[in-house]
Amino acid sequence: MTVKRPGLPFVTGTVTRHLLQRLAWAALCLALAPGQCLAQAGDSVPQVVVGGDHYHPPYEFLDEDGQPTGYNVELTRAIAEVMGIEVQIELGVWSDMRRRLVSGEIDILQGMSYSEERAEQFDFAPPHAIVHQSIFARRGDPAVEVEGLRGKEVIVQRGDIMHDYLVEHDVGARLITTDTHADALRLLASGQHDYALVANLPALYLGRELGLTNIVPVARPFSLRYGYAVKRGDSNLLAQFSEGLAILKNTGRHQAIYDKWLGPLEAPDGIPWKKIGQVGAAASAALLLILGGIVVWNRMLKRQVASRTEELRLHQQQLIQADKMTSLGILVSGVAHEINNPSSLLLLNLPVLRDAYADAQPILEAHYRTHGDFTLGGLEYSRMRDEIPYMLDDMLEGTKRIRRIVGDLKDFARQGSPGQAEALDLNEVVGTAIRLVDTSIRKATRCFATHYAEDLPAIEGNAQRIEQVVINLVLNACQALDDMEQAIVLTTRHDRDRRCVLLEVSDQGRGIDPESMNLLTDPFFTTRRECGGTGLGLSVSAGIVREHHGTLTFASSPGEGTTVTLALPVPPQPPPAEAPSPPAPG
């Protein structure tokens, strides 16, 4: 049984302060002996079971003594050191290790390529490498792209990202699966089948190790992000490894591990040191290189210090903003209480005035018929007798609207626990959120529309937190518009096949470039920093949606607007109770 240390999602001001403290502590650990830091952390060290492929060099493999080694293994141990956690690394057949992650037998995989399909089942840390996938053929065979694999016999590793891709996209190739990249390359080199679709660096490494000189890469169709992956929802463990990876990157240790294992394969062939007469020139070049390296290192240190200073300044501004929002919540509650008092007085007195006028109207009518028109409130009675009831009704309705808005503000400002689940009507939640941001909507567009589905099933969750998500989505849509004639449309519907209710927020704004699509929910990522954006809105929203076991997806093209879809699950309905059988006749 493994023990996981609790982690904190990186979304709030408090958590930001906590992360900065952890970064400072990790930096101190790099200066001190690791053992001393761990001793100060306590005797009980959490253990995490880390899985990987037993024969995927140079990323991860078993050495001659049967011990885990490779780039992923050394990186995992370095992360465990700086984070103060204990890891148990287990390497095996890839398809089996992937199955064990799903079943919970291991906690995390140290190297998995990212895809949108896999993201539905796993959560991924920021990548620690980019893996290029290559199509290999025997020397002299024709080159081919992925589209040209139809009808061919293609060798892939079982459960690998290329196996997933060829199955999911129905390329039309006949797939031959193996347990390892080495098995795939051996089959191809022996003259069997047509092509192998495998990761480029492991294939080059294995080709040299195994002496497979008759196979060559003929195409590199994919470049994929490669990093740590956990079972979907295990955000605490993933946050620890993401944090540790960030520390290694900022200290340069990640680059050193990367260069050690992957650099020799990525770099071109080195100089063949065969001529003894070049030793003197090499020594001079080395000296110049060292001197140049010192100069470059100094400049890099200055850039890093400047970058870190700017990053800390931004974090401080975000902490101040978060504190202001907390204070604003307190102010809203107090102001709402003060507004409620005169509102209650109006709600009490306006119906009385309306009834009083109704009682006085027969007397005023009699006076009008007897003496003709007269002045009432500075205007002719013949005009005022029809206007006064409407005026009183409008005042009463306006007071009720004030009361509703104040109530919505108080509910939104109230601190709610994620565990406080209740039955919710998504249409009502969306309506409340729209009332709260009505002013922002009217300033952004004259074309705002809502389409509410009828008979939406109830969902379970925290109303204030779902309102917060809807408000963030609507405000983002407003900020994306460049013209008052551009539209925003909110649509709710019930997806019976997926057993969930959906909210679609569509705008006709400027859209999102492809490079930013995968970063939208990252903490502190924003395209509006010069306008005061903090980059926390969508990150916080994504965390709230995950707490409610829902999804948040984005579809956008530059210049063609954006559609954000919020999906929340519908809880299973209990079976109807059977009617009791009538008693037997006595």
Span 453-472, pLDDT tens digits: 998 999 999 888 898 899 98
Q: What is the pLDDT of residues 310-329, one digit of tens each?
A: 877 777 666 666 656 666 66
Report the Cα–Cα distance between both ends of the chain, in Å, rounded: 60
Confidence grade of residue 529 (pLDDT, cut at 50, 70, 90): low
Percent of the chain, pLDDT > 70? Answer: 79
* Gyration radius from the chain CA atoms: 33
Q: What is the mean pLDDT of the chain?
A: 82
CATH number, domain 437-569: 3.30.565.10
The residue-averaged pLDDT of 193-212 equals 91
Whether residue 57 is preceded by a cis peptide bond, meaning omega within 30 degrees of 0, is no
Average pLDDT over residues 500-522: 87
Rounded Cα distance between 234 and 231, Å, is 6
Spatial strand order of the sheet with 500-507 comes to: 447-451, 487-495, 500-507, 562-569, 551-556
Task: State residue 36's pLDDT score.
Answer: 47
CATH superfamily of 131-225: Periplasmic binding protein-like II (3.40.190.10)
Residue 543 — very low, low, confident or very high, per pLDDT cuts 50/70/90? Answer: confident
Section 379-397 average pLDDT: 85
Return d(Cα 445, Cα 485) in angstroms, integer: 6
Lowest mean pLDDT among 281-290, 311-320, 413-422: 413-422
Beta bridge partners of residue 123, listed in sequence order: 230
The tally of CA atoms less than 13 A away on the side-chain side of residue 400 is: 8
Q: Is pLDDT above 60 for 40?
A: no
**Rounded to a whole number, what is the largest CA-CA distance in the chain?**
129
Q: Is the pLDDT of residue 494 over 80?
A: yes
Position 516 confidence tier, pLDDT thresholds 50, 70, 90:
confident
Question: 117-126, 195-204, 494-503, 534-543: lowest mean pLDDT where?
Answer: 534-543
pLDDT at position 392 is 86
**Whether the predicted pLDDT of 242 surpasses 90:** yes
pLDDT at 120 over 50: yes
Cβ-contact 469, 505 below 8 angstroms: no
Averaged over 424-433, what is the pLDDT?
Answer: 92
Mean pLDDT of 18-44: 47
Between CA 466 and CA 460 the distance in angstroms is 10
Positive or negative, the CA dihedral 360, 365, 371, 377 is positive
Are 541 and 472 in contact, with CB atoms under 8 Å apart? yes
Pick from 28-37, 375-384, 487-496: least confident: 28-37
How confident is the model over 262-275, as a mean pLDDT? Answer: 55
Q: Which residue is listed with tokens 């100069």? A: 295
Per-residue confidence (pLDDT) for residue 507, from 0 to 100: 95
The predicted pLDDT at position 44 comes to 54
Section 293-317 average pLDDT: 82
Q: Are 191 and 229 in contact (CB under 8 A)?
A: no
Looking at the DSSP bridge assignments, the partners of residue 380 are 375
What pLDDT is recorded for position 524? 59
| Tokens matching residue 137 | 């053929």
Please indicate whether residue 321 or residue 376 has the higher confidence score (pLDDT): 376
Residue with tokens 């016999």: 153
Cα–Cα distance for residue pair 178/136, rounded to 1 Å: 15
Answer whether residue 407 shows pLDDT above 60.
yes
| Band (417; pLDDT cuts 50, 70, 90) | low
pLDDT band at 35 (very low <50, low <70, confident <90, very high): very low
Domain 13-124+227-265+294-319 CATH (choose: 3.40.640.10, 3.30.530.20, 2.40.30.10, 3.40.190.10): 3.40.190.10
Q: Whole-angstrom Cα distance, residue 488 to residue 448?
A: 5
Residue 278's pLDDT is what? 61
Query: How high is the pLDDT of residue 385?
Result: 84
